[in-house]
Structure 1
Amino acid sequence: PRPPPLDCYDLGSDEPIAIGSVPSNGTTTVPETQATETLLSSASPTVNKMSGKTVFVTGAAGFIGSHTVIELLRAGYRVIGIDNFANAVPGENGQAASLERAQELTGRTMTFYQCDLLEKASLAKIFDKHKIDFVIHFAAMKAVGESMQKPLFYYKNNIVSTINLLEVMKEHGVYSMVFSSSCVVYGNPQYLPIDEAHPIGNVTNVYGRTKYAIEQMLEDICKAEKQWNIIALRYFNPLGAHPSGKIGEDPIRAFTNLMPVIGEVALGKRTELAVLGGDYDTEDGTSVRDFIHVMDLATGHVAALERLEQNPRYKVYNLGT
């Protein structure tokens, strides 16, 4: 039988990012010629072989960023984080509340700056102060509906900020990056499950186009300038929280994505959970999604840093189930 459509929600999206149905032939297997590499981490709860290296994390106070900071600290990395608090809660003394808890949970400290990537001079000053080995780039605006209403804002915020970051990295001799991309770059799938060899670019919303454009830019840079090593991680739907319960997903901006809504119903902030969609090609008409726990996503970033040590040039990996 023909499988149901697979919807992809990126964190913060307020409507489906179209992944759509498989082709009319109903194929659900990946062609044998498209075998892909698996990303594995050797990170342990203590310290791994990368201990002592410094990671610069943009969007560090956000949902995925803060959970990844925990795993980086546990793995022995020195962490420098920035955030502009567009979708994160400030804590005491200019620190981010989520990162204060990350340090409490790990018993390790990090350095944090409130900084916007559009402020290139401020960003450069941070790089002047620290010897940085790797960059993990989370920071972006990511609400699909809003991106269609404010395209110029999204193109400037997501693409120009990334260019600023890359230029500052190059000026300071930092050439290793893990980029936070999205499954949205695949558009409507030609087969399921979707692997990294699947064609990309048939994107139907502005947010997705920014991710696709950045991926193309990163690949072009790696081809032209041999010193760069960049890994793009294409997320499916993050959910969950740290096992301690001390940090999780608590967005500031308006949202309708599933897991925060379920949380608000459980807390009594909403009276009911509305199940949206009734005309999908599924048994009950509702959509089907691929979820990944945020701690698995965080571990994937540690694995990506280890992979960068092997000088992969430009690589992409799916992070989903």
Structure 2
Amino acid sequence: MILITGGAGYIGSHAVVEFMAAGYDVLVLDNLSNSKIEVISRVKELAGRDFEFIQGDIRDSALLDRIFSQYSIDSVVHFAGLKAVGESVQKPLMYYDNNVNGSLVLFEAMAKAGVYSIVFSSSATVYGDPHTVPITEDFPLKTTNPYGATKLVIEGILNDLHRSNPLWRIAILRYFNPTGAHKSGRIGEDPNGIPNNLMPYIAQVATGRRAALQVFGDDYPTHDGTGVRDYIHVVDLVKGHVKALNYLEKNQEIIIVNLGTGIGYSVLDMLKAMEQATQKTIKYEMAPRRAGDVAACYANPEFALSKLGWQAEYDQHTMCEDVWRWQSQNPNGYSN
């Protein structure tokens, strides 16, 4: 059985569907701070079978000890964490407590229970402002915000854990920019409040929930002046987790892998692609650059292919179609 922390969240919920499709039994732990209970019933519907859900926090050591003693857990897939860059700048202590302290409590409970296999959800933010693109896994690490710093600290803890005890099997997966939704339109990204990420914001403008998209910066050294990112379909992303766990089952080591497409799209590229998918004109207005944003960030995904046999399959058009199917069928997210 796999314990999936944060399994009711955007990426976690899609991961539960894919792990169950791959034949794994799953236990989901989520405190529902950035997700809704409705997700669980929809994921069960998509998976076609039942799984256990526990509402709780990874910082609750007594709860984690009970989970590891009560269930026969072989591996952990660790998504639970706060993830808004801007909020992390405003509330750094909350991010260090939730992300770093929560991970420490989880790793300690795993060690006590003799569960040494983990796939960790890291981020391309650990590369900071890259000196060049595309980004390979051996690039220098530095961060421009507390969110990225928490990911970097947790990566360091995992590296130290493996050095201290080679029984640990660890996959650190550095995500680029997840987007898209399950093709059914039943699950997708439903952020609390104003979206921090580009694609749900564009989709909410298209439904009339937001007035216009603010494009932060039109003077970057890119093909149209707006920031360039590596957008990856969430289903491709979570299939990378299944591949990573398959790898750890056969290899006792620590691996660090970029999960991206290797293709950079600008903000305006994605806006135009969403206009095609929605058949609507999407209003936008230019705004000054945001502090901490970089001009371009996209992956070299070759190591993921050679190490895990994984590569992204879904293109920009499919990402946008799936975002729109989710948003148009669920204009208020899971609160419909």
Q: TM-score, normalised by structure 1?
A: 0.79
2:23 to 70, 73, 76: 76
Is 1:85–2:32 an aligned residue pair? yes
Corresponding position: 1:229 with 2:169: yes
- 2:59 and 2:101 in contact (8 A); partners too: yes
Q: Which amino acid aligns with 1:255?
A: P
Q: Which amino acid counterpart does residue 59 of structure 1 have in structure 2?
A: G
Aligned residue among 55, 60, 68 for 2:7: 60
Q: State how far apart, in whole Å, the 2-side matches of 1:106 and 1:85 are.
A: 20
1:122 aligns with 2:63: yes
One-letter code aligned to 2:12: G
Secondary structure, in 3 states, of the residue corresponding to 1:275? Answer: strand
Secondary structure in structure 2 of the residue aligned to 1:274: strand
The share of aligned pairs that are identical, in percent, is 52
Aligned to 2:289: none
Provide the residue aligned with 2:260 in structure 1. Answer: 320
CA distance in 2, matches of 1:147, 1:271: 26
Shift of residue 105, structure 1, vs aligned partner:
1.2
Question: How many angstroms apart in 2 are the aligned matches of 1:253 and 1:156?
Answer: 22
After TM superposition, the structure 1 stretch with the greater mean CA deviation from structure 2, 262-271 or 77-86, is 262-271
Rounded to whole Å, the distance in 2 between the matches of 1:243 and 1:80 is 23
- Structure 1 gaps of 5+ residues are 1-53, 91-96
Q: 1:163 aligns with which of 92, 98, 104?
A: 104
In structure 2, the partner of 1:186 is 127
CA drift of 1:256 comes to 3.3
Q: Secondary structure at the match of 1:179?
A: strand
Distance 1:235 1:256 in 2: 16
Could you tell me which of 215, 240, 254 is aligned with 1:275?
A: 215
- Following the alignment from structure 2 to structure 1, what is the Cα–Cα distance between the partners of residues 99 and 133? 29
- Secondary structure (helix, strand or coil) at the match of 2:213 reads coil
Check 1:170–1:194 CA distance in 2 against 1; reply closer, same or farther (3 A cut): same
**Which residue of structure 1 lines up, in the alignment, with residue 292 of structure 2?**
none
User: C-alpha displacement at 1:308, in angstroms?
Assistant: 0.5
Aligned pair count reads: 261
- Contact conserved, 1:87 with 1:253, CA < 8 A, in 2? no
Separation (CA, whole Å) in 1 of partners of 2:30 and 2:113 = 20
Deviations 1:194-214 (A, max 9, x none): 1112121x2111111110011
| Distance across 2 between alignment mates of 1:150 and 1:87 | 16
Shift of residue 310 of structure 1? 2.1
Runs of 4+ that moved beyond 2 A: 253-256, 271-276
Distance 1:261 1:108 in 2: 33
* Equivalent pair of 1:59/1:138 in contact (CA under 8 Å): yes
Q: Counterpart of 2:282?
A: none
1:271 and 1:192 mapped to 2: Cα distance? 34
CA contact (8 A) 2:2 2:24 kept: yes
In structure 2, C-alpha distance between the alignment counterparts of 1:240 and 1:87, rounded to whole Å = 18
Query: What's the CA shift string for 1:107-127, capped at 9, x where partnerless?
Result: 111100001011111121111
1:137-174 Cα deviation digits (max 9, x unpaired): 00011111111111111111111100100010011110
The equivalent of 1:217 in structure 2 is 157
Distance 1:256 1:162 in 2: 23
1:144 aligns with 2:85: yes
Counterpart AA for 2:111: K
Q: Secondary structure at the match of 2:102?
A: helix
How far apart are the structure 1 equivalents of 2:180 and 2:252? 31
State whether structure 2 residue 45 is matched by structure 1 residue 104: yes
1:235 aligned partner, one-letter code: Y
Instruction: Measure, in 2, the Cα distance between the counterparts of 1:256 and 1:167.
Output: 32
**What's 1:308 paired with?**
248
1:257 corresponds to which residue? 197
Aligned counterparts of 1:71 and 1:159: Cα–Cα separation in 2: 27
Provide the rounded CA distance (Å) in 2 between the counterparts of 1:138 and 1:111.
17
Task: Supply the distance in 1 between the matched residues of 2:252 and 2:69 (Cα, whole angstroms).
Answer: 27
Please report the TM-score for the alignment, with normalisation by the length of structure 2.
0.76
Looking at structure 2, the residues matched to 196 and 312 of structure 1 have their Cα atoms a distance apart, in angstroms, of 20
Paired residue type of 1:151: P
Counterpart amino acid of residue 226 in structure 2? T
Of 136-145 and 274-283, the range deviating more from structure 2: 274-283
Task: For CA contacts below 8 A with separation 6 or more, give which structure has more relative contact order.
Answer: 1
Letter in 1 for 2:63: S
SS in 2 for 1:207: helix
Larger relative helix fraction: 2
1:253 Cα offset (Å):
4.3
Structure 1 Cα separation of the partners of residues 147 and 213 of structure 2: 26
Q: Secondary structure at the match of 2:34?
A: coil
